[in-house]
Amino acid sequence: MRAFVVDKYKQPLVEREVAEPEVGDRDVLVRVEAAGLNQLDEKIRQGEFAQILPYDLPLVLGNDVAGTVIRVGRLVDGFRPGDRVYARPDAARIGTFAERIAVAEKDLAPVPAGLSMAEAGSLPLVALTAWQALVERGGVTAGQKVLIHAGAGGVGSIAIQLAAHLGATVATTASAANADFARELGADVVIDYRRQDFAEELSGYDFVLDSLGGENLEKSLRVLRPGGLVVGISGPPDPAFARAQGLNLVVRLAIAGLSRKVRAQAKKLGVRYEFLFMRADGDQLREITALVDSGAIRPVVAKTYPLDRLPEALADLAAGVSRGKLVVTND
């Protein structure tokens, strides 16, 4: 089977013939027709998550999939050959930059009606990230004030739509060129990050979704009301994440050290910080499907590439995407 693999961290992807996926009793074999590219793919390739997300190399990369069911395991009863499905496979079973992938039934959902495979393939990871941040962690409700950083990006463009659907007042950071686009998605306030300091413009916010980390994260703490929450998806990881991952004591202590400064700052300000590493969840993806079908959320695809141009697409991702997601297709 044709696939793109990481042979060594920090090296380019390489096209290889690899073994066919093993299909367990509760697995679904999917023909990959589209796969979204995510910053997570580039961070894995660079080895940035090697300590907290260890993989054996060579590794088939890819964290989003949309495609057609080829066959199902003997205990699968929710899908059948020919079904159009999409998923963010479990973190331990990634590998969507290939012709086929076996996905656990519990991680799959039907593709939203009316979406192309490229649109569906752009959604799972970013939509689940937005859902788990805003709904599961943040408990965002109508009338609250929410700040979404990088509103024109893959996660941001979906998170703005979800926050608006939940009834929140939504602020976002974006370039001036993307201001109207962010407003079309549902942003009420757009901060031009090149000319304005969001920490001086905003205050009294209930929730912030930070995808940038560093100074941006530290400044985000200051726009919150007392008791408010910043959820960071770029890091640093916190002790709760380390415990949930079952990491060894040495790594847990190292992670605690990485996040100690921001956690101390949050405590001093009377606010909270949590790190989110999103997880696969087919039930949540069905909730997202319903929102897409109702028109509350729409995918944003910046550009598509054929699978054989995947290294080029990944290079474009690393260079920066102005709006939405990049997607590779395998027609």
Judged by DSSP in three states, 266 sits in: helix
pLDDT score recorded for residue 51: 76
Burial bucket for residue 78 (CB in 10 Å: 0-12, 13-18, 19+) = middle
Angle between helix 124-131 and helix 282-294 axes, rounded to 10 deg: 100
Buried (b) or exposed (e) across 99-123, using 16+ Cβ within 10 A? bbbbbbbebbbbbbeebbbbbbbbb
Cα gap 63→88, rounded to integer Å? 6
Write down the domain spans for the chain: 2-123+299-329, 125-275
pLDDT score recorded for residue 53: 80
pLDDT score recorded for residue 251: 77
State how far Cα 323 lies from the chain centre: 15
Cα gap 154→217, rounded to integer Å? 18
pLDDT score recorded for residue 50: 81
Low-confidence ranges of the chain (pLDDT < 50): none
Cα gap 308→310, rounded to integer Å? 6
DSSP 48-112: TTTTTS--PSSEE----EEEEEEEE-TT--S--TT-EEEE---GGG---SBSEEEEEGGGEEEPP
pLDDT score recorded for residue 244: 79
Q: Let me know if domain 125-275 sits in CATH 3.40.50.720.
A: yes
Beta-carbon contacts of residue 157 (< 8 Å; ≥ 6 apart): 126, 151, 185, 300, 323, 324
User: Which of the four CATH numbers 1.10.287.110, 3.90.180.10, 2.30.40.10, 2.60.40.10 does domain 2-123+299-329 have?
Assistant: 3.90.180.10
